[in-house]
């Protein structure tokens, strides 16, 4: 069980601040109707849950950030193992958060018969989008910090996906029933698969061997 010995130190090295901050803000969003007593239609509740998921997913963009990364080049354990531990921890945390957010929405007064299966696929895709952005960004970041660029990039991609001129569009009201809902969510599932593959490739693909010459340093600036 050599792999498991990696778990505690990796978890300790994760930056919890962004993940926890984004999750807390997301939970507040989902709990908005319950706290304010506002009665929302099912379609509006679905949109609120989507925005909450987007908010919480923003924190996942920081999951792969590791300021110590430049010093880990010499470690004999493959880098993808630590990344896998981080991704698994992030996804478990996000899944628990999602359950809490759904419970918070259902605590609101009024109708709450939401198509949870489809909404969960959307939430998973948004989480995978953040993780994929994080994996790609950290790969190209000089100092092991990709989150500051990955989080807004994931938001921009999410905005582009929602605005994409598709028929039916990717964002359909949560009270949509029947074939339209199914078509849209097959698409979301496909997007989820693409994003998972992107993340795995970005984490595992071998890096081009860098020759360190005398005097070369990491880029001092960064975003």
Partner 1 sequence: MADLLTAPVNIAGRAGGNRRAALALARVEAARFLRHPLSVAALLLFVSPWVYDLVTGTGNRFPVLADAAVDLQVLGLFALGGGAMVTAHLAALRAHRHNADELFDTLVLPPPWRTLASLLALLPYAGVVAVLVAARLVALALRPGAVGVPDLADAAVVPAVVALFGAVGVLLARLWRSAVAAPVALVVFAVVMFAGLVAGVEGPAWWRQALPIMIDDRGFALPAGLVDRPSGRHLVYLGGILVVVALAAIARSGARRLVVPLLAAVALTAAAGAAQFRGDPALQRLRADVARDPAPLSTCRTLGDVRYCAFDEFTPWIASWDEVVRGVLRAAPAVTGPPLVVRQRVWADGPGRAGFSADPGSEVDRVEGWRRADADAGFPEAVMAGTAWGSDVDAATLAAAVAYRVVTGVSRSRVDLTCGAQGALLIWLVGHATPGTAAGLRRADEDSSGAIVFSDFSLLTTIAVPDRVAAPALALLTRPAAEAEALVWAHWAELADPATSVERFGALLGVPVPPLPPVEERPVCAG
* Chain residues that interact with partner 1, rule: CB under 8 A: 17-18, 21-22, 25-26, 29, 32, 40, 44, 47-48, 51-52, 54-55, 58-59, 61-62, 145, 147-149, 151-153, 155-156, 159-160, 163, 165, 222-223
Instruction: With CA atoms as reference, report the closest residue to 112 among 43, 166, 181.
Output: 43
Nearer to partner 1, 58 or 120 (CB): 58
Minimum Å gap between C-beta 27 and partner 1 is 12
Nearer to partner 1, 92 or 162 (CB): 162
Nearer to partner 1, 21 or 115 (CB): 21
3-state SS, the chain, equals CCHHHHHHHHHHHCCHHHHHHHHHHHHHHHCHHHHHCCCCCHHHHHHHHHHHHHHHHHHHCCCCCCCCHHHHHHCCCCHHHHHHHHHHHHHHHHHHHHHHHHHHHHCCCCCCCCCHHHHHHHHHHHHHHHHHHHHHHHHHCCCCCCHHHHHHHHHHHHHHHHHCCCCCCCCCCCCCCCHHHHHHHHHHHHHHHHHHHHHHHHHHCCCCCCCCCCCCCCCCCCC
Nearer to partner 1, 31 or 85 (CB): 31
Minimum Å gap between C-beta 190 and partner 1 is 21
Minimum Å gap between C-beta 5 and partner 1 is 30
Minimum Å gap between C-beta 182 and partner 1 is 16
Nearer to partner 1, 18 or 118 (CB): 18
Minimum Å gap between C-beta 78 and partner 1 is 28
Nearer to partner 1, 115 or 152 (CB): 152
Minimum Å gap between C-beta 221 and partner 1 is 8
Residues ≥6 apart with Cβ < 8 Å to 56: 22, 23, 25, 26, 27, 94, 97, 98, 101, 127
């Amino acid at each position: 069980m050599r792999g498991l010995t990696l778990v505690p130190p990796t978890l300790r090295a994760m930056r919890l601040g962004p993940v926890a901050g984004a999750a807390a803000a997301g939970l507040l969003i989902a709990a908005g109707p319950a706290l304010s007593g506002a009665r929302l239609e099912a379609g509006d509740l679905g949109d609120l849950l989507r925005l909450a998921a987007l908010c919480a997913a923003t924190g996942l963009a920081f999951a792969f950030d590791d300021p110590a990364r430049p010093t880990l080049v010499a470690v004999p354990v493959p880098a993808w193992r630590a990344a896998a531990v981080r991704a698994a921890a992030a996804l478990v945390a996000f899944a628990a958060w999602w359950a809490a957010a759904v419970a918070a929405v259902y605590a609101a007064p009024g109708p709450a018969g939401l198509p949870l299966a489809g909404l969960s696929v959307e939430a998973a895709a948004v989480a995978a989008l953040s993780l994929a952005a994080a994996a790609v960004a950290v790969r190209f970041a000089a100092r092991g910090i990709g989150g500051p660029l990955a989080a807004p990039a994931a938001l921009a991609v999410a905005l582009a996906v929602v605005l994409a001129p598709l028929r039916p569009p990717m964002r359909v009201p949560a009270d949509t029933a029947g074939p339209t809902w199914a078509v849209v969510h097959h698409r979301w599932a496909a997007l989820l698969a693409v994003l998972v593959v992107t993340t795995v490739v970005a984490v595992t693909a071998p890096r081009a061997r860098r020759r360190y010459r005398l005097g070369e340093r990491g880029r001092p600036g960064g975003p």
